[in-house]
Amino acid sequence: MNILAIGAHRDDCEIGAGGVIVKAVKKGHRVVLVTVCGGGINDWCISKGKTREYREWTIRKAREMGVEKILLPFSDKGIITDSAARKKASRKLAEIILKVKPDIVFLHHRFEAMPADHGIVGEISEQAVNYANIFMGGKNVKYRGEMYAYEVSPIRHFPPYPLFQPDIYIDIGDVIRQAVETPNYFDRLYALSKHGKIAGMVRSKIKIDYLGDNEIPLSMHGELKLTLASYRGFQCDVRYAEAFMAMGRKEVSGKRLLSEI
């Protein structure tokens, strides 16, 4: 299968769907990750003059994971304030979608309100998936794969009631170490910036019984990932899980490609 995940920042796909990404790579599926707001010093916690290094570190991590990573040249501030930038981003995403031809797409929920660029990227991603041909000047050919919203900031939705309603859970207990290590990695990168030092601090350590005696250190987003996975696992009676909400086609309700990962 071809699997496409779209995120605002360079760690969002990995926080929202990191376990599924690892499982997909292990099964030999092609996985492409797109960072929309990957355009330099306005990207979250990227220090001036360090753009090239951060790009190299990000791509290096993608290679280690066995995925393809595309960093689009938009800033988080531009996505929020500039309608022209959003149109350009939609067109670029449509181009990628038509090229990758994904069987499954993961993206932000359009009502994820904090930070604001998450919801905006979710909205333009959903539009790009559904109307890729129109963005590229062709006929309206509806996307026929599966599309799912993932969660990064589960309690930060607007209006103030749960709009993220998961309808499928994937057990990631067998890859939980890798699922938390990737957010930890990006936290260490953010810690190199004066704006992100707190992100790289080890907040806790955990031993998971079936993984042996080695402790897993958890920084800010690694801890977030583990907490979310534990909560969603409790809901579906496994140790750790990721939760997703089907978007677009209502008929994605029976047997799903996502269930096969």
pLDDT tens digits, one per residue of 126-178: 999 988 888 777 766 667 789 999 999 765 555 555 678 899 999 999 999 99
Structure letter (DSSP) for residue 190: H
pLDDT above 70 for 92? yes
Question: CB–CB of 56/71 below 8 Å?
Answer: no
The residues near 251 (Cβ < 8 Å, ≥ 6 apart) are none
CATH number of 2-173+239-251: 3.40.50.10320
Q: What is the value of pTM for the model shown?
A: 0.90
pLDDT above 90 for 218? no
Average pLDDT, the chain: 85
pLDDT above 90 for 54? no
For residues 30 and 167, the model is more confident at 30
Which range is most confident: 39-43, 194-198, 213-217, 228-232?
A: 228-232
pLDDT above 70 for 250? no
Instruction: Provide the pLDDT for residue 175.
Output: 96
Instruction: Provide the pLDDT for residue 41.
Output: 47
Question: CB–CB of 153/9 below 8 Å?
Answer: no
Instruction: Provide the pLDDT for residue 205.
Output: 83
Residue linked to tokens 């066995």: 66
Q: Lowest mean pLDDT: which of 57-61, 76-80, 140-144, 239-243?
A: 140-144
